[in-house]
Structure 1
Amino acid sequence: MDASNTTRTGRRARWAVAGMFLMNGFLTGSWAPQIPVFLERLGISEFTLGLLILLFGLGAVTAMPWSGYLMARHGSRKVLLGFAIVAAFSLLAVALAPNVALAAVALFLFGGLIGGMDVAMNANAVVVERHMSRAIMSSSHAFWSLGGFFGGGAGGLIIQSYGHVTHAIGVTVVAIAILAVAARSVIADKPHAEHHHRKFVLPKSPTVYLIGLMALFSMIPEGAVLDWGALYLQKERGTDLATAGFAFGLFAGAMALMRFLGDGVRNRFGAVATLRVSSLIAAAGMLVAGLATPPWLVIAAFAVAGIGIANVVPIIFSAGGNQPGMASSTGMSIVTTMGYSGILLAPSAIGFVAERTGFSPIFVVLSGLLVVVCLMGNLVRTADFDHGKSE
C-alpha cells in the first residue's frame, strides 16, 4: 500500500513539475512574437531594444541566486509556486508598459520571475527524480520547449489578428490555468537552511568551467533565436509578423520532440556520441538559417537547429552535476549559471552587433560555436550513468 501511494504521488509530482516547465516555456515563448511590436510601439532602435533585453537577462541572473537562497530556507515547492503565481502576470505587465522607463522595469521583473522560477522548477525536478528513482530532467525540459512552441507559434497569429494586449491577456489566462491544475501536486521537500551558511568555495578543477563554457556556447544560439529570430525574418527576409512568429515556435517544437526522445537516444549511444552528433546537426541548422533567403527555409533551418540543440544542454548539465570529487550542487550551479548567461545576457550583445552587420552573419558565427562544442565533447563522459561504475 505504501509503495502504491509513493508511486501515485511520484506520478502526480512528475506531471506537476512538467506543468511548471510548460508554463515557464509558454511565457518565455510568448515574449518572442511580442518583440517586433514592442520595438515599433515604443519607437526605439535595435540598440535600445538590446539594452532592454539585457535588463531581462540581468533580472534573471539577479533572481537566480535568490531563488537558491529561498529554497534553502523554504524548500523548492513554496519558492516555485511563489515565483509562478507572480510570473503569470509578467508578460502582461510588459505589454501594458506605456513608455521606455516602465518597460525597462517590467522587463527586469519579467526576467527575474522567469529566472527564479526556472531554478526552482529544476530543483523540484531533482526532488521528483529522487522520489521516483529515475531520470525525468530531459523530458521536463521537453515540456518547456513544448510551451515555447505553443507560445511562439500561436503568438504572431494572435497579435496580428487581435493585437498585442489581447495576446498578453490570453497568455496570462493560460498560464494561470496551467498553474491551477499543477499546483496541488507539486512535491514538497525539506529546506536545507544549514547549508546556506557554509562558505561557498569555487572549485579548482578547470573541467567544470570548460563544461560551463560548452553550456554557454550551446545556449547563446537558443537565446539568439528566441529574441531575434522573428525580427530577423521580418527585417532581413521580408516576411510578415504571423510567419515570423514561427521562428522560435518551430525551433522550440523541434526541441520538445527530441527531448521527449532524448533519454532513449542517450542511453543507447552514450552521452559523448549523442552530444557530438547533436551539436553538428545544430551547427548545420544555424549555418543554413544565416545563409538562406526564403523565409520558410530559414524557419526550417531553425527547426533543425532545435533538433540538434535539444539534447546538448541536458547532457552538459548532467555532466556538470556529476564531476568527480565535487558536490553535485556546486558543479550544477557553475555550469547552469554560465549556460544561462548565454540565453539571458548574450542576446543583448547580438542586438548591438546586428544593428551594424545584420543578423545573417551572426547566425553563421553561432554555428561555429556549436562546432567548438562538438570538439569538446569528450568532457561530458561523466554524464553517462555507468561512468562511475566503470572507474
Structure 2
Amino acid sequence: MTLRAETSPLLRGRLAAGTAFFVQGLLFISLTTRLPQIQERWDLDELAVSGLLLMVVLLAGVGSVVAEVVAARTSSAVVVRVGLVAATLGLGLLLLAPTFAVFVAGLAVYGLALGLVDASSNMQAVTVEHLYRRPILPSFHAFWTAGGVLGTVVTLATVAVDLGPGLLPLLFFPLAALAAPFVRRDRLARVDAAIDVPWRRIALLGLAMVLFYMVDTAATTWGPVYLKGALDAPSGLTALATLPYLVATLLARAVGDGLVDRHGAVWLLRVSGVVAAASLAVIVFAPTWFVAVIGFTLLGGAVATIAPLSFSAAGAIAGGEDDSAGERIDRTDQVVARFNQFNYVGALLGAVLTGAVGADDLRIGFAVPMVLILGIVPLASQFAIIRRRGAAVETH
C-alpha cells in the first residue's frame, strides 16, 4: 500500500507527459499525411510546400525559445497547456480557412504551438526520467509514435472526406489533454541566476538529433508525396509511406528501454545508423511503391531510439547530482528547451532541403539523408553517459 502511494504520483506524471507526446504525434502526422490533399486544395507545387514547411520550422524554433523563457518563470506544465491550446486554435483555423491567407495564418499559429509543446513535453519527460533514475525516454517518444499511428489510420479511413471535416474531430484530443496532471515543481533556484551548462558536449548530441529529424521529417512529410508522384501509388494508399514507418518506430521505442539496458546506447545507435542508411537506399532505388513501403518500414525501426536517447543523454549531462533539486531542474529545463532547437535544424534538412533538392525527382531528395545518416555511427560514443538499469537505483 505504501509502495503504491509512493509510485502513483510518479506514474501519473509519466502518463501525463506521455499524453502530451501522444497528442502532438496525432496532430502532426494527421496533418502531414494530408499533404497531398493540401497541395491539391491550394494548388501548391513542391517548392511552395517547402516554403510553408520552412515557415513552420522557423516558428517552431521560436516557440521552443518562448518555452524556455516561460518555463523558467512558471513551469513546463504551464507551457505544455498553452501549447496545446495554441495547437487547437491553429489547426482549427487552417482546416476551416476560406482563403489561402487564412490557411497560412493558421499554419503559422500551429508552427509556434509545435515548438511550445515539443520543448515542454520533453522537459516533462526528462524531469520524470530523473525521478525514475533510469533511461525511459524511448517510452515517452513511443507515445508520440502511437499518436502518429492513429493519425495515419484516420487519414486512410477518411481519404474521401474533405480536409476540414476529416480532421476537425481530432481537436478534441488537445483540449482533453489540458486536464492531465503534468509535473510541477517549486522554484528552488533563482530564475535569473547564471546556469553553467557544458554546451560543447551537448552540441555533439545535438548533431545526432539533427540527423534523426532530417530522416524522420523527410519520411513523414515527403513519403506520401514520393509514393504518389514518383512511384504512382494509388491515391488512397499514399499514407502507407507513413503508417508502416510509424508502426515500426512504435515497436522499436516500446522495446527501446530494454535494448539500452541489455546492450547499451552506444551499440544500439551504431546499429541504427547502418540499418537506416540501408533502408533509405531501398527507398531511393525502389522500383515500385510497395518496395518503397518496405524501405520506410525498416527505416522507422532503425532510427526510432535516436531522438529519445539524445534527450536522455543531454538531460544526464545537465542534471548534476551535486546541486539542489531545483537547480538541477532549472538547468535541465534550459538544456532541453535549447537542445530542442536541433530538432528544427534537422526538420529544415528533412522537410525543406529534401523537397528543394528533390523538386524534380524526390529520389534525389531522399538520397541526401541516405548519406548523412551514417554520421550516427561515429557520434554514438557520445551516448556512453546513459546508464543501464543495473547501474541505477530502481524507484518503481
TM-score scaled by length of structure 1:
0.89
Q: Of the candidates 360, 378, 382, which is equivalent to residue 379 of structure 1? A: 382
Report the count of equivalent residues: 382
CA 1:354–1:387: 2 relative to 1, 3 Å: farther
C-alpha separation in 2, matches of 1:211 and 1:40: 39
Q: 2:168 corresponds to which letter in structure 1?
A: I
* Partner residue in 1 for 2:342: 338
Q: 2:184 corresponds to which letter in structure 1?
A: A
C-alpha separation in 2, matches of 1:5 and 1:26: 32
C-alpha separation in 2, matches of 1:249 and 1:14: 26
* Partner residue in 2 for 1:115: 115
Q: For each residue in 1:36-79, what CA deviation from the matched residue of structure 2 results, as whole angstroms up to 9, or x when unmatched? A: 11111112222111111111111110110111111111112222
C-alpha separation in 1, matches of 2:299 and 2:16: 29
CA 1:174–1:322: 2 relative to 1, 3 Å: closer
- Bigger Cα displacement from structure 2, 43-52 vs 130-139: 130-139
C-alpha separation in 2, matches of 1:64 and 1:348: 19
C-alpha separation in 1, matches of 2:182 and 2:196: 32
What is the correspondence of 1:158-307 to structure 2 with a 5 Å cutoff?
Answer: 158=158, 160-177=159-176, 179=177, 183-191=179-187, 194-195=190-191, 197-199=192-194, 203=198, 205=200, 207-307=201-301
Is the contact between residue 42 and residue 99 of structure 1 (CA under 8 Å) also seen in structure 2? no
C-alpha separation in 2, matches of 1:28 and 1:110: 9
Q: For each residue in 1:301-342, what CA deviation from the matched residue of structure 2 results, as whole angstroms up to 9, or x when unmatched? A: 111101010012222232333348986556545543223321
Q: 1:241 corresponds to which letter in structure 2?
A: S
Is the contact between residue 218 and residue 309 of structure 1 (CA under 8 Å) also seen in structure 2? yes
Structure 2 residue 366 is matched with structure 1 residue 363: yes
Q: CA deviation at 1:222?
A: 0.4
Q: CA deviation at 1:189?
A: 2.2
Structure 2 residue 355 is matched with structure 1 residue 351: yes
Q: CA deviation at 1:17?
A: 1.6
Structure 2 residue 322 is matched with structure 1 residue 318: no
* Partner residue in 1 for 2:98: 98
C-alpha separation in 1, matches of 2:135 and 2:389: 14
Is the contact between residue 259 and residue 310 of structure 1 (CA under 8 Å) also seen in structure 2? yes
C-alpha separation in 1, matches of 2:386 and 2:238: 36
C-alpha separation in 1, matches of 2:209 and 2:180: 33
CA RMSD in angstroms comes to: 2.6
Identity of aligned residues (%): 25
Q: 1:342 corresponds to which letter in structure 2?
A: G
Is the contact between residue 278 and residue 308 of structure 1 (CA under 8 Å) also seen in structure 2? yes
CA 1:332–1:388: 2 relative to 1, 3 Å: farther
Q: 1:375 corresponds to which letter in structure 2?
A: P
Is the contact between residue 256 and residue 305 of structure 2 (CA under 8 Å) also seen in structure 1? yes
Q: CA deviation at 1:238?
A: 0.6
C-alpha separation in 2, matches of 1:323 and 1:131: 15
- Bigger Cα displacement from structure 2, 309-318 vs 264-273: 309-318
Q: Secondary structure at the match of 2:340?
A: helix
CA 1:60–1:188: 2 relative to 1, 3 Å: same
Q: CA deviation at 1:29?
A: 0.7
Q: CA deviation at 1:104?
A: 2.1
CA 1:124–1:259: 2 relative to 1, 3 Å: same
Q: Secondary structure at the match of 2:61?
A: helix
* Partner residue in 1 for 2:56: 56
Q: 2:49 corresponds to which letter in structure 1?
A: L
C-alpha separation in 2, matches of 1:386 and 1:201: 28
Is the contact between residue 209 and residue 334 of structure 1 (CA under 8 Å) also seen in structure 2? no
Q: CA deviation at 1:227?
A: 1.3
TM-score scaled by length of structure 2:
0.88
Unaligned runs of 5+ in 1: none
Is the contact between residue 381 and residue 387 of structure 1 (CA under 8 Å) also seen in structure 2? no
C-alpha separation in 2, matches of 1:38 and 1:343: 19
C-alpha separation in 1, matches of 2:175 and 2:374: 40
C-alpha separation in 1, matches of 2:18 and 2:335: 24
What is the correspondence of 1:134-153 to structure 2 with a 5 Å cutoff?
Answer: 134-153=134-153
Q: 2:375 corresponds to which letter in structure 1?
A: V
CA 1:288–1:140: 2 relative to 1, 3 Å: same
C-alpha separation in 1, matches of 2:270 and 2:236: 34
Unaligned runs of 5+ in 2: 321-330
Q: CA deviation at 1:106?
A: 1.4
Q: Secondary structure at the match of 2:255?
A: helix
C-alpha separation in 2, matches of 1:101 and 1:161: 25
